Chain A
């Protein structure tokens, strides 16, 4: 009489486990090849590329916009969507010129981005210094961390 032992029972296998194992292996490979930086770097597909930071009280959106004047920029906020629109027009006054290199491009741009955090729409400030645009959006009151005081009773 054969007595089935518990250990010989086929274990339940998650069919997706194998994919998960491959994904982890690939993640490890890319991490080794490119370092940790790849972790949060992403490439923009729409101009301008943005860097967004979070501080305890605000959200900071930053973009490099060399050669763009403040009046050529249009920033708007609609509920949770921030839109940066503008036009870059760099004119060289001289008429009779021969170009050796032409790498700086001119044109229109329009980028909208959904904000990950609720912000206070009345307290947005933007500044353009040396070609860097910084938009500071204060977080809405209720999303700011609130310290809870514990009273000993």
Chain B
């Protein structure tokens, strides 16, 4: 599986429905999403984002992943000799079908890969209501 060569995937810029006030660019991070019996895991590629720059929120069933890209040392005065990729922030939204235990969402960031674990909330045990006749 890993013997193949990696191909260049051009970054996809996020298209806003409305105009933004700042000229910062947003890109759609590529993701892997997989599910096990107990949890849903989202892995997103966010190179250049540090722990402080990540913003994850789950509002109703909309999961929003936001990453603020920060290369502090990049200087506007540097002369560009080759420019093959653009840099910018990351933003992507998903509708989560499963019911998620919001209290226990965990996220880790390693080498530019963000991993979010969304534990499924256990469905409430059906309570049996006995009907008594008087």
A52 to chain B, nearest CB (A): 4
Binary flags per residue of B63-86, CB closer than 8 Å to A gives 1, else 0: 000000001001101111111111
Of A8-16, A18-26, A128-136, the one with at least 4 CB within 8 A of chain B:
A128-136
Instruction: Decide if B112 touches A130 in the complex (CB within 8 Å).
Output: yes
A124 to chain B, nearest CB (A): 17
Interface of chain A, helix or strand or loop or mixed?
A: loop
Known: A97-B36, A107-B5. A132 touches B112 (CB 8 A): yes
Interface check A45, CB cutoff 8 A: yes
Interface check B31, CB cutoff 8 A: yes
Select B36's contact among A44, A66, A96, beta carbons within 8 Å.
Answer: A96
Note all chain A residues with C-beta closer than 8 A to B36: 94, 96-98
CB nearest to B71 among chain A residues: A132
Select B50's contact among A41, A50, A97, A130, beta carbons within 8 Å.
Answer: A130
Known: A100-B34, A101-B32, A131-B113. A107 touches B4 (CB 8 A): yes
Of A28-36, A84-92, A145-153, the one with at least 4 CB within 8 A of chain B:
A84-92
Select B112's contact among A66, A87, A102, beta carbons within 8 Å.
Answer: A66
Instruction: Decide if B35 touches A46 in the complex (CB within 8 Å).
Output: no
Interface residues on A, range: 35 or more
Q: Count B-side interface residues using an 8 Å CB cutoff.
A: 45
Known: A47-B8, A55-B78. A66 touches B2 (CB 8 A): no
Known: A42-B82, A49-B84. A66 touches B111 (CB 8 A): yes
Select B1's contact among A59, A68, A106, beta carbons within 8 Å.
Answer: A106
Binary flags per residue of B15-43, CB closer than 8 Å to A gives 1, else 0: 00000000000000011111111001101
Instruction: Decide if A50 touches B111 in the complex (CB within 8 Å).
Output: no
Instruction: Decide if A51 touches B8 in the complex (CB within 8 Å).
Output: no
Q: How far is the CA of A94 from the CA of B85 in the complex (A)?
A: 33
Q: How far is the CA of A26 from the CA of B9 in the complex (A)?
A: 28
Note all chain B residues with C-beta closer than 8 A to A48: 6, 8
Counting from the closest, the 8 A-B pairs by CB-CB distance are A131-B112, A66-B112, A131-B47, A49-B84, A53-B78, A64-B47, A52-B82, A103-B30
Chain A residues engaging chain B, CB cutoff 8 angstroms: 40-55, 59-60, 64-69, 87-90, 92, 94, 96-110, 116, 128, 130-132
9 further interface pairs, Cβ-Cβ under 8 Å (given A97-B34, A108-B2): A42-B84, A51-B80, A53-B80, A65-B47, A90-B113, A97-B41, A106-B6, A131-B47, A131-B48
